[in-house]
Amino acid sequence: MVFSTDEFKFIADMVYKQAAIVLDEKKKYLVEARLSKVMNDEFLWSPNELITKLQDSASTKLRAKVVDAMTINETSFFRDGHPYEELRQSLIPTLIKTRAAEKQINIWCAAGSTGQEPYSIAMTLRQHFPELAAWRIKIIASDISDRVLEQARSGRYSQLEVNRGLSPALLSRFFTRDKDHWVANKELKDLIEFRKVNLVEPLVGLPKFDLIFIRNVLIYFNVGTKKEILAKIAKTMRPDGALVLGTAETMLGVTDEFERRSGTRTALYTLKAQCAAGGVS
Ligand SMILES: C[S@@+](CC[C@H](N)C(=O)[O-])C[C@H]1O[C@@H](n2cnc3c(N)ncnc32)[C@H](O)[C@@H]1O
């Protein structure tokens, strides 16, 4: 299905308005391929028909479906390895000390895609910190895409997906075989609440977080959007909380509300003292 320049621009503008995802001309082939599937499902036979339907204000579901089709959901269990080492060796041991009185830890996995990231966090907690069994631990895993949230909630993964990052020992301890798939056990599912959150919209109804993983999503946004999202996220963090970005990501040139922790390969950030004290709006 080939889109004209104007038709492509309409789609790119709409996706930008809904999700702040930037689609430039280089992604036109990808947009066309992904929209072909949406159009087949919806019995729409030309870009013009699709656009006419999208212009109808009642087409909320179709707009969400188009945005969903434009998301890149690449992920894997224990992606990059070292953030989970950081979690095991430093972040969780620190929280066990600083939250000893309240015995509660809130973790947010923003843009957690099909769930491999929040399940990896949950496995790290359950495997290495048995003392947390009596604590109230909540991992909120969110994404803008209903499609990936559905898989994440089901905790159901193909052999190919578990082969990407899950050791045989963790697989047999935390997953149950269901024909040619593997399903996360209740022990992991009980730790995670899955929610639809569009990072571009106001962040409502979220608790204050001790730890935030927001990995490999800011790369899809322009600097202004990154800045706005990080400002909102700063307000959802406990003053002594920590934030983890994707390995190749940085806040350099985006915001100075956070400072990067040195001595680690992980892109680990904490709030600067004056921001943590509420000095930055
Ligand atoms: C490449 S995946 C990253 C998954 C995981 N964090 C990781 O690093 O493996 C990016 C995810 O961001 C989500 N996303 C894109 N735009 C978003 C938005 N505006 N709000 C929330 N999630 C968004 C996509 O649906 C996708 O699942």
Is the confidence at residue 280, as pLDDT, over 50?
no
If you measure from the C-alpha of residue 275 to the centroid of ligand 1, how many angstroms do you get, rounded to a whole number? Answer: 26
Ligand 1 atom 15, closest CA: 71
Is the confidence at residue 275, as pLDDT, over 90?
no
CB 142 within 8 A of CB 195: yes
CB atoms within 10 A of CB 224: 10
From the CB of 18, is ligand 1 less than 6 Å away?
Answer: no
CB 261 within 8 A of CB 279: no
Q: Exposed, middle or buried: residue 101 (CB in 10 Å: 0-12, 13-18, 19+)?
A: exposed
Q: Which of 1.10.240.10, 3.40.50.300, 1.10.155.10, 3.40.640.10 is the CATH number of 5-70?
A: 1.10.155.10
Q: Read off the tokens for 31.
A: 């947009």
Number of H helices and E strands in the chain, helices first, is: 13, 10
Confidence of residue 277 (pLDDT cuts 50, 70, 90): low
The domain locations on the chain are 5-70, 82-276
Minimum-distance ligand 1 atom for the alpha carbon of 145: 25
Q: Exposed, middle or buried: residue 227 (CB in 10 Å: 0-12, 13-18, 19+)?
A: middle
Ligand 1 atom 27, closest CA: 113
In a mutational test of the pocket of ligand 1, which residue from 18, 217, 249 has the highest number of ligand atoms less than 8 Å from its CB? 217
Check whether domain 82-276 has CATH 3.40.50.150, yes or no: yes
Q: Per residue in 12-69, pLDDT tens?
A: 999 999 999 999 999 999 999 999 999 999 999 999 999 999 999 899 999 999 999 9
Q: Per residue in 182-227, pLDDT tens?
A: 999 999 999 999 999 999 999 999 999 999 999 999 999 999 999 9
From the CB of 217, is ligand 1 less than 6 Å away?
Answer: yes
Q: Which pTM was predicted? A: 0.95
